[in-house]
Chain A
């Protein structure tokens, strides 16, 4: 089914790699041949139709309906923003405000809430060791995240900005994005506020405008260098490590607000997940 969708997308001239190319090399023809993201090898992998992350999705789907935790319940009543149990299209509208918790939550944050309230896991148990080592096995939480995200594959990103807290999340995300700190004086903007830039041979999408979709719309993904499926929560952590910042807490506003900022900038673009990355 996914392969057919990809074929259709390719015919319509909207293939994933083309979208990446448009963003990454609109300014200079040089960028196309010199970035890993613009070269034929990743393009070929993304057109292949299969992805190791497909197996994470299989596992995640099983975990979604499996009775787990002290309450021996499944996640099938989990409300991801579109009503209890509605998974299709939910990821495309996250992060968003949830009245029951009174906060803006992203994919993993909301899954943790459901693991606690529906399944009875404690806060400590629910988000313990969420990220596997390179080449390792993804945690149950990340497997579920891969499944839920894939249920929005092919849909338009539509992150809401109605509630005051949703707008605040965007604004604080923007502040974090431009906040320079640490021994290197890096902010996200140091690398991601201009088009046509690359660090070594990695394309650096401009995340301050619509070009953010070049990156945002292709997560969660399977980065070849990681050898394990990864989500945006992981990517924010990896970026901040390289910025020489201290570590943001898993599912904290520090991460969610950055995701809101990039995501809202990407509104309208079509999600392709999981994809291959370098």
Chain B
């Protein structure tokens, strides 16, 4: 057996691509849950964003307008979640489930109405897609041993949204732990009464967090339909929102841990695409179905609490009611 063969440059390259939507969704969930609003509607928001970004990109031919439309769609669903769970103090899980159903049904319905292609959008090409960016000196450095191919294959050549996602990791960390907004956000997820008695609006903070969550989910969805793939197909998120939630728990609600967790999931998704490599490494054939199921199996294992004790934000899931 040759486990080193599992570390294949092309697999790592797809790992980065496949981890990107997971990472964005995971950070989206991180903002929301750190503020005390559980969000199992990540999946639905991504799906809605994927559809609207692909649809607008297909119609206008501009991927940037598509991105904006995706973010707007995701934000609208975030607003709905905020209205239900913050303003009307409803059950956050139920609101999230409703959003997932709403997105799953509406996207296909509208796609059929607009494009009549069986619930898809037309395939995107040219300016309708985010293309890979070749970073400076990628070509010249390619000949340098080890570092060259690493830079050319792995780091260079991704779409702008991939770099945005990875930059969001230190960005999120900085916002959470170095700014006033971050301090208040974390406080409102732990003990909203402390924030309230300090004279800061609990509702305002939570809406801000849910809003950021919506924007990040929007980027994640847009990347799926206009970066990773070329157009929207039914249920294209394929549980990525839930995988992101599992990664969030795995990461114990910390930005850097979220990066490692989503890279792990991304790797499992990437390696599942290359059964030949696995066969080479292990020396026997593994059922493709089993490989495809790996990320989901890991999700279940994580959610069942097999990865140590993860303590969620203490006020998470509970609407804030002022006491006297």
Partners in one complex: no
Residues of A at the B interface (CB closer than 8 Å) are none
Residues of B at the A interface (CB closer than 8 Å) are none
